Chains A and B, each alone.
Chain A
Amino acid sequence: MNLFAKLYYPLRKAWKAVGLYLVIAGPGIVVMVADNDAGGITTYAATGAKYGYHLIWFLLILIPVAYYVQEMTVRLGAITKRGHAEAIFDGFGAFWGWFSLLDLLILDWLTLVTEFVGMTAALTIFGAPPWITVIGVILLMAVIVLNGRYWTFEKLALLFCALNLVYIPGAFLVHPSVRDIIHQGLIPNFAGGFNGQLFFFLMANIGTTIAPWMLFFQQSAVVDKGMLEKDIPWGRFDTLLGSIITVVVAVFIVIVTGTVLHGIDIDDAAQAAQELMKTDRYVGTFLAIGLFDAGLLGAICISLASSWAFGEIFGWAHSLNTKIRQAPWFYATYFMLLITAGLVVLIPRAPLVLITLFVQVIAVTLLPAALVFLILLLNDRTTMGERRNTPVQNLIGGFIVVSIIILSTLYGFSVLFPNLFK
């Protein structure tokens, strides 16, 4: 009885904390899991197939990297009540504002095309023709965003995030050697020595972990959700949890392909799913479902990032808490991006490989700018007050930002000039 009395209040307090977190939870987890989009799944699948478990330790390093960058958007959004696009316009003037906005639009649209490529490829495995996938996805996304409530969108998005965990049972089905995972995967090593190809894979993994649209999406989502300064600690926890989940999912994809497809060159995740079907039907099915889900979640968030950004700048109503009649331009931008990107996939002989490469190159032009603006805005005493970056945060954030800029730039170079690192 005494023990029960002692435990009752701490448990009630903990339960209340969980309840409070569930109210605040969303932007961090959604943006992080959506980052494991079709391109991300392809990168992780190819990494596992090429290097087995040897780069798992590197993926784990990306947890704090993703967290530190995205955490800054939580603070900026909660304090300024402005999205990232508006913050750039306001802070740095119209030139840098338009540069960021138009770059974001081009990049988001190209990335959306790659999401549709992933989704159609995934459902082709189950016999669905691409046109059915495209129409089905657009209708599904209309249902998700047109209900007029941010809360409903977020909870549906969290459901798709949960589906992203399908890779975890998939990894158990292929019976990997836990001993090998610990010995090869958790001790930092460069399998086969540090060469150009390994460097390319490391850069690709970083490139898929931090994307420019993520900064715009999370900050706008924080504003649309109505998070306040007092919610920042929960927003941070949400972001940390999201960054852990996204990397754990990536690790399990690497385990799946590293166990079954080690030594096979993988060009895309759909190919990995087809190869896996030959050895284990269920695992192949899981990978295909996961690829579709990743593309869908990525598409939802990417189109929203652009619609929010344009709404902020053009002064249109731009909240998911509004109905289509109240915010016609916001929803028009959302669907225009979605429909045009979906149509590109249906064009016979469309240069989809070129588009995929272009995404990486364009990202290199926007990512450094967005990150530099982020650090500078977080140091603005007038806006951020006591919530501005501390010297330690600047040191960590600055190091991460400079490293990402250097590596993503080299990655962009390697895409433009494939023989550069060979």
Chain B
Amino acid sequence: MSAFRNLFAKIRAINARYHEPRIEMSGAVRLSLLVLRVYLLALVALMIYKFVLIVTQG
């Protein structure tokens, strides 16, 4: 149990350490990250669609 507690504490420490992105958030960087988010969301949606297709069609 304490191992899990240590692990979660470690993860919280990592999240705190890397809370703020260090790279300068210029317009190009923001746009790239936004496009990446949209791309990944579309991809996940497509995978879910495929999964549903497999399940419903047997």
Contacts and interface: CB of A to CB of B under 8 A. Distances in A.
Contacts of B18: 89-90, 93-94, 97
Contacts of B24: 380-382
27 contacts: A89-B18, A90-B22, A92-B21, A92-B23, A93-B18, A93-B20, A93-B21, A94-B15, A94-B18, A96-B21, A96-B33, A97-B18, A314-B10, A364-B43, A365-B43, A365-B44, A368-B39, A369-B36, A372-B33, A372-B36, A376-B29, A380-B23, A381-B24, A413-B46, A416-B47, A416-B50, A417-B50
A314 B47 CA distance: 30
Interface of A: 89-94, 96-97, 313-315, 361, 364-365, 368-369, 372, 376-377, 380-382, 409, 412-413, 416-417
Nearest to A412: B43
A89 B23 CA distance: 10
Contacts of A409: 39, 43
A314 B17 CA distance: 11
Contacts of B44: 365
Interface in B34-58: 36, 39-40, 43-44, 46-47, 50
Contacts of A412: 43
B2 interface: no
B1 interface: no
Contacts of B21: 91-93, 96
B14 A89 contact: yes
Contact of B14 (A91, A314, A376, A413): A314
A313 B14 contact: yes
Contact of B36 (A314, A368, A377): A368
Nearest to A89: B18
Contacts of B22: 90-91
A365 B15 CA distance: 22
A339 to B, nearest CB: 19
Given A376-B29, A380-B24, A416-B47, A94 B36 contact: no
A89 B14 CA distance: 9
A372 B32 contact: yes
Interface residue SS majority, chain B: helix
B5 interface: no
Contacts of B14: 89, 94, 97, 313-314
Given A93-B18, A314-B10, A416-B46, A365 B40 contact: yes
B24 to A, nearest CB: 7
B11 to A, nearest CB: 9
Given A92-B33, A361-B47, A409-B43, 5 more contacts: A94-B15, A96-B21, A314-B14, A364-B43, A365-B43
Contacts of B15: 94
Contacts of A97: 14, 18
A94 B15 CA distance: 6
Contact of A376 (B10, B32, B46, B50): B32
A361 B39 CA distance: 14
B41 to A, nearest CB: 11
Contacts of A380: 23-24
Contacts of A94: 14-15, 18-19
A129 B44 CA distance: 39
A97 B22 CA distance: 12
Contacts of B46: 413, 416
